[in-house]
């Protein structure tokens, strides 16, 4: 019976620690942007294409000098 009390105290204190960590993370803004990581993977190819086009344009501009 005493082990049951010990386990309840341990589990409640562990839950409180995780709650405190969650509250600190929420106050610092770690959970603000929940949509863009899901969309970023879809837009990754477009961003790479735009960068390569910009690099080609810059190389062309630099070669004209």
Which pLDDT does position 8 carry in this prediction? 97
Which pLDDT does position 2 carry in this prediction? 92
Contacts of 25 (CB under 8 A, 6+ apart): 31
Residue 4: pLDDT over 60: yes
Mean pLDDT of 1-10: 95
Whether the CB-CB separation of 19 and 13 falls below 8 Å is answered with no
pLDDT in tens, 6-65: 999 999 999 999 999 999 999 998 878 767 766 777 766 666 666 666 666 666 666 655
pTM of the model: 0.51
């Amino acid at each position: 019976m005493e082990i049951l009390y010990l386990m309840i105290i341990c589990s409640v204190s562990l839950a409180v620690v995780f709650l405190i960590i969650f509250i600190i993370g929420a106050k610092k803004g770690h959970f603000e942007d929940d949509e863009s990581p899901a969309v970023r993977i879809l837009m990754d190819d477009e961003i790479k294409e735009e960068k390569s086009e910009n690099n080609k344009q810059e190389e062309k501009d630099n070669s004209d000098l």
